[in-house]
């Protein structure tokens, strides 16, 4: 999977960047610009995919486009296409809550209580978008959220307190199933900002 390949890339010391200067990507503390890293990882994944499964992918796409013409699906994002093909998942909020870790929040923090209240108020479509937002996929593990995987294997859903401005949207790190949640001043604002983030941001990184 792409997540496995990305994990392998991260474990390697790399000294070349896409359209950028030579630098060590992994072995040192230096943090590179997210857009540069994203472009590099995407190019590496494309290169590995083309070398390993080019023929198989071409055959799959040929058959797929016979069933659904390319022009009909080109209007959808990858997240929307996943939901169209797989359907809406049934997301057990109690199971997700039981397998959640908190950082700089407590389970009884008012923002955490508001968060779970907001999530329960979402319909299945918005719950699926939320799951995509924080994990990168709308699929629920067959064994439940206790089996949720991150970049390094089993990784529970995490909610981290974001101490920056409460005018920011929640953001996420899908490799770690992590939601960064500002300490919003009211339930209404938390729900509004969370909905805006999952509906307008195709990936977990977003600012208001």
Q: What is the 3-state secondary structure (H, E, C) of 20-71?
A: CCCCCCCCCCCCCCHHHHHHHHHHHHHHHHHHHHHHHHHHHHHHHHHHCCHH
Measured from the Cβ of residue 174, the count of other Cβ atoms closer than 10 Å reads 18
Catalytically active residues, by annotation: 175
State the first-to-last Cα distance of the chain, in angstroms, to the nearest integer.
32
Alpha carbon distances (Å) from 164 to 150, 156, 171: 25, 24, 12
């Amino acid at each position: 999977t792409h997540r496995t390949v990305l994990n392998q890339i991260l474990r390697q010391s790399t000294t070349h960047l896409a359209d950028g200067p030579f630098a060590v990507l992994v072995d040192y503390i230096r943090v590179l610009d997210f857009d540069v890293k994203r472009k590099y990882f995407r190019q590496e994944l494309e290169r590995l995919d083309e070398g390993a499964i080019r023929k198989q992918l071409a055959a799959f796409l040929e058959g797929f486009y016979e069933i659904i013409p390319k022009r009909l699906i080109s209007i959808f994002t990858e997240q929307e296409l996943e939901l169209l093909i797989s359907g809406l998942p049934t997301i057990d909020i109690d199971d997700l809550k039981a397998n959640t870790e908190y950082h700089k929040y407590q389970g009884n923090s008012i923002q955490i209580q508001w968060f779970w209240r907001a999530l329960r108020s979402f319909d299945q479509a918005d719950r699926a978008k939320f799951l995509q937002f924080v994990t990168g996929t709308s699929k629920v593990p067959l064994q439940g959220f206790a089996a949720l995987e991150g970049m390094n294997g089993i990784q529970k859903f995490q909610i981290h307190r974001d101490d920056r401005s409460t005018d920011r949207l929640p953001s996420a790190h899908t490799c770690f199933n992590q939601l960064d949640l500002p300490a919003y001043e009211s339930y209404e604002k938390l729900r509004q900002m969370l909905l805006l983030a999952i509906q307008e941001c195709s990936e977990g990184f977003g600012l208001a």
